[in-house]
Amino acid sequence: MSNTGPTISTTPKPPGSDLVHRIHEGEALFVVLVLLSGVGIGVTSFSPADGFRYWVAMVPLFGGVSAFLAWVRARNRGESPGGALRAQAFHWLGLLGALELVFLMKTAGQIQYDAIGLFALIALALATFLAGVHTDWRLCAVGVLLGAIVVAAAFIQQIVWVILVPAFALIVVVLIAWRRRGRPPTSIADQP
């Protein structure tokens, strides 16, 4: 007679395997935030107005992750999560208010159109960093990364032509040389 019931494994789990599983789940949230930040800097580079709207749309997502982490932290400490969630709501609503002020300053002509997306990103970087101070240090790391993206975007806009023009010229020269030769070199030994 065969046993068709569920089988229960008696193999012990490796020590800390639950912790490893929880860390991987938690890290996924931060990877998503970082990937969305990369998308946002691309959007901001191509269209500052769309970049501003993108960063405003990211506030609920960043705020949701932060609120979730605050809720988990309060629950793990045996505290009522209500106070932590209320603080998170005010924190992220404050960011939305700051972004509204940035938009009003742009409308009044106080901020250049090209800079509006970067201002929104600066505000999000600061809010994310400060949320990390109160919930999870990894949010601090995401905030620092967002700040670094702002710096990189500012410098990239200044030096993009210094890099793009020579790179484009080099590509054109290589294509012309390749076409004249009739075939691309297959190795360094094939070079004249």
How many residues does the structure list for the chain? 192
Structure pTM?
A: 0.67
Q: Which residue has the tokens 């600066």?
A: 122
Between the alpha carbon of residue 177 and those of residues 152, 166, 189, the distances in Å are: 34, 16, 16
Residues 6+ apart with CB under 8 A from 11: none
pLDDT in tens, 75-133: 999 998 999 999 999 999 999 999 999 889 988 989 887 788 888 889 999 999 999 99
- Rounded CA-CA distance 48/56 in Å is 12
Check whether 169 has a pLDDT greater than 70: no
